[in-house]
Amino acid sequence: MRRPQKSELITKINVTPIIDVALVLVIILLVTAPMLSVADLPVNLPEARTREAENERNVSITIGTDGEMAVDQLRVDPTQLRVALAQRLSQPGDGDVLVVVRADSGTSFRVVRQTLSDARAAGAKRIAIAIRQRTEDRQ
């Protein structure tokens, strides 16, 4: 007759079910988190045209902190901005170019607003304000 062998006692914890449950919870969290962060309001988001403006021709109006102005590389008196911009926009093929206003951050809003009005009066159909994008450091 044979004697049955004694089975060994399991003294270690089986972590496989715990890992399975944890992974299922992580998957549920990843699926539901984006749904919780967005408000349930219908919003029509605006379209951005960042790459298109870089690839096309444009006219640049630069405003310094002391009030000096330039149309492309040509320095102009602020009182003559309309005339200089109208001449630039009247050139063949430049009627529908993008006019980019590049103002120093220290320039007053009044000067920028007047420049935008002058550009519109000179015949600019498309106007943009140049900015520098800044990334915020997260700690």
In a domain, 75, yes or no: yes
Residue 98 lies in a domain: yes
What the block records as the tokens of 71 is 């149309």
Is 21 inside any structural domain? no
Is 42 contained in some domain? no
At residue 75, the pLDDT reads 87
pLDDT per position as a tens digit, 83-103: 988 888 888 877 778 888 888
* Full-model pTM: 0.55
Q: Is residue 16 part of a domain?
A: no
Beta bridge partners of 126: 98
Whether the CB-CB separation of 73 and 59 falls below 8 Å is answered with no
* 9 located within any domain: no
Average pLDDT value for the chain: 79
Angle ∠(27,31,34) on CA atoms, nearest 5: 140
8 Å CB contact between 118 and 81: yes
CB 129 within 8 A of CB 112: yes
Let me know if residue 35 belongs to a domain: no
For 2-59, how does the pLDDT look when each residue is reduced to its tens digit (9 = 90+)?
766 777 777 888 889 999 999 999 999 988 887 765 555 555 655 555 544 444 578 8
Q: Give the amino acid at 59.
A: V
**Domain holding 105: CATH number?**
3.30.420.270
At 49 the pLDDT is 53
User: Can you give the residue range of the structural domain that contains 55?
Assistant: 50-129
**Residue 97 maps to a domain:** yes
* Number of separate domains in the chain: 1
pLDDT of residue 55: 47
- Residue 113 pLDDT level (bands cut at 50, 70, 90): very high
Query: What's the pLDDT score for residue 53?
Result: 47
